[in-house]
């Protein structure tokens, strides 16, 4: 049987792998792209609620990289080669205009993640140099004389002089990111930080929180408290779910909260009226009660809070019952209500699992990679990109920008090597 020879093998057909394969093919390399799903870009097609938050339009490299506090020093070199401007240019040149929404989040104007996948699939195929092998799972590396020479897969062994690994992390395993790539990297000697869900919603055992399922508070302040000290404070939108709390602000806090949970109990405190201090909140309630003195408390409170939220709050221990006539509420009861609205507490028991996480932290330690070319410091013909790297970042398009940047650089350098 004739043995097919490739210059480069790319493992994993997600955003990073497609970018790398397309780029290497464009530069004339013969590339084999191996993907275990029956199509490329399965996870990409569900990103950003299927609208794909394709990048974050912070055009200044320094300000952009401020969002990667732990890995900033590694990323200057890659971002001097391919940055947010390059991403805009790449997609717009290929007929996919981008629009920028709040918090600099950029999306395709068509609002379809599938259109982003289509641009990349086309990029992969247009040079005619990339062979795509679907339904093929990478199993392990072939090593000869201390060099990687190929890969064993469910469809046989393939050889190439350079290998780019883009098999992702562990977030959303149903899309194919199940971690074999990371195991194979650990097997050949890379330090792989055990992945665990990083950017994910938070869980609580408080049943009353679960009963608020579907309720969104547009503007509140959320504090995470440990040993009666506020450790983290954020203001913005909060979403209650059937297991706890979610929304960008919560998801971006999960990494820190996880660290706190390792040290002990974490309590969340929600301030539903962050613009009021305790005194002005009390005055607000006094005015409200004055206007509604002959009504029941639950009716009066609807003026201030969404119905479901006020119903749930009025069932909490110590808080006056919703049927209480407003005129009979004592000063002490009013103070309790003020404190509850300003400091609604519940325990945090953990983050949701991999299936809920947007990014699972973990992956290869950045110090084991030369970021100028994305090559492994252990094997000079191995390139690591995208979610295989242990780089924490917030939500808002930063993850995909990392894929575009690292994918483009690995494709370029592997082709030129």
Ligand X SMILES: Cc1cc2nc3c(=O)[nH]c(=O)nc-3n(C[C@H](O)[C@H](O)[C@H](O)COP(=O)(O)OP(=O)(O)OC[C@H]3O[C@@H](n4cnc5c(N)ncnc54)[C@H](O)[C@@H]3O)c2cc1C
- Would you tell me which residues interact with ligand X (CB under 6 A)? 11-17, 34-37, 42-44, 46-48, 52-53, 137-138, 166-168, 171-172, 176-178, 180-181, 358-359, 386-387, 397-400, 403
> Given the complex with ligand X, which of 350 and 407 has the nearer CB atom?
407
SS3 229: strand
Rounded-to-integer distance, Cα 396 and Cα 283, Å: 38
> Given the complex with ligand X, which of 98 and 344 has the nearer CB atom?
98
SS3 413: helix
* Least distance between ligand X and beta carbon 177 (Å): 4
Judge contact between 412 and 23, C-beta under 8 A: yes
CA 361, 363, 366 angle in degrees (round to 5)?
105
> Given the complex with ligand X, which of 134 and 304 has the nearer CB atom?
134
What are the beta bridge partners of residue 108? 98
Lay out the sheet containing 266-271: strands in order across: 344-348, 266-271, 216-226, 229-240, 244-246, 202-203, 350-351
* Least distance between ligand X and beta carbon 336 (Å): 40
Judge contact between 84 and 57, C-beta under 8 A: yes
* Least distance between ligand X and beta carbon 184 (Å): 8
> Given the complex with ligand X, which of 169 and 350 has the nearer CB atom?
169
Provide the terminal-to-terminal Cα distance of the chain, rounded to the nearest Å: 29
Tokens 């242990």 locate to 390
> Given the complex with ligand X, which of 373 and 388 has the nearer CB atom?
388
* Least distance between ligand X and beta carbon 279 (Å): 42
> Given the complex with ligand X, which of 37 and 299 has the nearer CB atom?
37
* Least distance between ligand X and beta carbon 145 (Å): 25
* Least distance between ligand X and beta carbon 95 (Å): 20
Rounded-to-integer distance, Cα 245 and Cα 351, Å: 10
Residue of 142, 122, 171 whose CA lies nearest to 21: 122
Helix (H) or strand (E) run with residue 362 in it: strand 359-364
> Given the complex with ligand X, which of 86 and 306 has the nearer CB atom?
86
Helix (H) or strand (E) run with residue 291 in it: helix 278-291
> Given the complex with ligand X, which of 10 and 272 has the nearer CB atom?
10
* Least distance between ligand X and beta carbon 397 (Å): 5
Task: Report, in this order, helix, strand and coil percent for the chain, each rounded to 5.
Answer: 40, 25, 35
* Least distance between ligand X and beta carbon 399 (Å): 3
Provide the angle, in degrees to the nearest 10, between the axes of the packed helices 398-416 and 84-93: 80
> Given the complex with ligand X, which of 116 and 300 has the nearer CB atom?
116
* Least distance between ligand X and beta carbon 23 (Å): 14
Rounded-to-integer distance, Cα 184 and Cα 142, Å: 11
Rounded-to-integer distance, Cα 343 and Cα 272, Å: 8
């Amino acid at each position: 049987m004739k043995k097919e020879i490739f210059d480069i093998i790319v493992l994993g057909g997600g955003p990073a792998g497609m970018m790398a394969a397309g780029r290497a093919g464009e530069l004339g390399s013969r590339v084999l792209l191996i993907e275990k799903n029956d199509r490329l870009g399965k996870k990409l097609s569900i990103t950003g609620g299927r609208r794909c938050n394709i990048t974050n339009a912070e055009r200044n490299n320094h300000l952009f990289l401020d969002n990667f506090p732990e890995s900033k020093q590694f990323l200057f070199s890659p971002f001097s080669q391919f940055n947010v401007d390059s991403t805009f240019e790449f997609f717009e040149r290929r007929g996919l205009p981008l629009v920028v929404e709040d918090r600099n989040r950029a999306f395709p104007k068509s609002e379809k993640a599938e259109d982003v996948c289509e641009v990349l699939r086309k990029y992969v195929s247009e040079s005619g140099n990339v062979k795509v092998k679907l339904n093929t799972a990478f199993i392990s590396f072939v090593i000869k004389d201390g060099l990687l020479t190929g890969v064993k897969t469910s469809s046989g062994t393939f050889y190439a002089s350079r290998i780019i690994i883009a098999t992702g992390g562990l977030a959303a395993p149903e899309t194919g990111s199940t971690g074999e790539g990371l195991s194979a990297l650990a097997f050949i000697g890379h330090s792989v930080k055990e992945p665990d869900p990083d950017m994910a919603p938070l869980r609580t055992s408080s049943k009353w929180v679960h009963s608020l399922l579907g309720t969104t508070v547009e503007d509140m302040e959320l504090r995470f408290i440990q040993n009666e000290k506020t450790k983290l404070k954020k203001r913005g939108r909060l979403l209650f779910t059937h297991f706890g709390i979610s929304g960008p602000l919560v998801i971006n806090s999960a990494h820190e909260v996880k660290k706190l949970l390792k040290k002990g109990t974490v309590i969340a405190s929600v301030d539903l009226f962050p613009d009021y201090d305790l005194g002005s909140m009390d005055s607000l309630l006094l005015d409200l009660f004055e206007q509604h003195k002959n009504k029941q408390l639950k009716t009066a409170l609807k003026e201030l809070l969404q119905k479901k939220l006020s119903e749930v709050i009025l069932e909490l221990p110590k808080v006056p019952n919703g049927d209480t006539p407003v005129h009979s509420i004592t000063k002490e009861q009013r103070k309790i209500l003020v404190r509850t609205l300003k400091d609604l507490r519940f325990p945090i028991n953990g983050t949701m699992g991999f299936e809920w996480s947007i990014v699972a932290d973990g992956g290869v330690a950045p110090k084991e990679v030369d970021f100028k070319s994305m090559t492994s410091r252990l094997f000079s013909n191995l390139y690591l990109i995208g979610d295989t790297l242990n780089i924490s970042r917030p939500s808002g398009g930063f993850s995909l920008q990392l894929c575009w940047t690292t994918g483009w650089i690995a494709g370029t350098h592997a082709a030129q090597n």
